[in-house]
Amino acid sequence: MKSYVVWNNKGGVGKSTIIFNLASRYADLNSNKKVLVIDLCPQANSTMMFLGGGRVGENHLLKLQTSSNTVVGYIDEKIRRTSGDIISQNTYKVQVSNYNKNLPDNLWLVSGDGNLELIAPAINYYANAQIPSNAWRNVHYWIKNLISEITEDSDDWVVFIDTNPSFAIHTELAIVAATHLIVPFKADDSSRVATKALFDLLYGSSEPHPVYSKYTFAQKAKENEIILPLCHLFIGNQFVRYEAAAKAFHAISDAVVSDLYNVYKTSSYRFTSKGEINSEADFNKQFIKELKDFNSAGVVAANNGKLLHKLHDTREHLVHDRSLGLSPKTITNSSESVEEIVSLL
């Protein structure tokens, strides 16, 4: 079973919008599969998108939070079990089409929850407990165990995990739960630097600090023999309304490719195998993908809780009651980009 975590150590790169469009279209194109989304971002933006988008999705999210049928409800259950309480079992997944008829029936969601930040100190507390000796490993497997509980009925599941940009404890749980890593980036140097730096955060620095390195996630993951996800795709969230913006994106993208190819040359085992790579051009072709016109069509689709290509069915596109003009070409460009990436999952 494949599981994809979408993460970059920088905000604003479009993680939630990307995971909404990828997971929705994957489910739409693969009716023989069961698709599970786990929202581990405290903002729960992707949850609102899946549940109908905008205020509709927000209202559904609030009801789920009230009933504790969210990822925080599951983590709270794990904490209470760790502290000795005996409680009933709950899978915590909801079928998305029960809330949003625009999306396929084979799509399931473990809802995000704004209380995730509030419960993070408790997760840290139990992860760093001295007893039992494997506490860190046990806690970091909580989401991985949740996936196992939900998907034990079939081998036909594919999992997508949304994350917070900060490398918080809940982000660590998301990383440990996945087999594949998808990294979005935008056309700015801070995004480029964050994309490069994530290797140190996840896998450890080539020049570890003599004191602090033993406390890092990378070192603890190594000590606990945890298998970390392989880098699968780096997705440029492109904005091409103006020629200068398009040129800026490609300039940054070229720099990202150069930095990542240098990492690949020394740590190719951190990447999924996709054939022979002997040059920067080979690396670019296999690992770098672009989302064209996504900052318009992709955002509108997510706000309306709709599949991207279905935007062709209506002339007027509303975002919070404001009409936005989307050309058919914009919708097609964005939709085809998403489908190309889905074909590589």
Tokens of 311: 């935007």
Distance of alpha carbon 251 from alpha carbon 260, whole angstroms: 14
Which residues face 5 on adjacent strands? 161, 181
The count of other CB atoms within 10 Å of the CB of residue 71 is 30
Looking at residue 68, its pLDDT comes to 84
In sequence order, which ranges of 267-315 are alpha helices (DSSP H)? 280-287, 297-304
* pLDDT tens digits, 216-258: 898 999 999 999 999 999 998 765 544 555 566 666 677 878 8
Distance of alpha carbon 28 from alpha carbon 33, whole angstroms: 9
Kindly give, in sequence order, each residue whose CB lies less than 8 Å from that of residue 313, ignoring residues fewer than 6 positions away.
none
* pLDDT tens digits, 192-204: 787 778 888 898 8
Judged on CB neighbours under 10 Å (0-12, 13-18, 19+), 281 is exposed
The alpha carbon dihedral of 47, 53, 102, 16 has a sign of: negative
* pLDDT tens digits, 26-51: 999 999 999 999 999 999 999 999 99
Q: Which of 1-5, 67-71, 100-104, 324-328 has the lowest mean pLDDT?
A: 324-328
Q: Which of 233-237, 288-292, 312-316 has the lowest mean pLDDT?
A: 312-316
pLDDT level of residue 212 (50, 70, 90 thresholds): low
Confidence check: pLDDT of 163 > 60: yes
95 with 108: CB under 8 angstroms?
yes
Looking at residue 39, its pLDDT comes to 96
215 with 164: CB under 8 angstroms?
no
The string of DSSP letters for 22-90 reads HHHHHHHH-TTSEEEEEEE-TT-HHHHHHTTSHHHHHHHHHHHHHHT-SHHHHHHHHHHHHTT------
Looking at residue 224, its pLDDT comes to 93
pTM of the model: 0.91
Which residue has 């749980």 as its token pair?
A: 173
> Would you identify the CATH topology of the domain 3-342?
Rossmann fold (3.40.50)
Rg of the chain in Å (alpha carbons)? 20
Kindly give, in sequence order, each residue whose CB lies less than 8 Å from that of residue 282, ignoring residues fewer than 6 positions away.
276
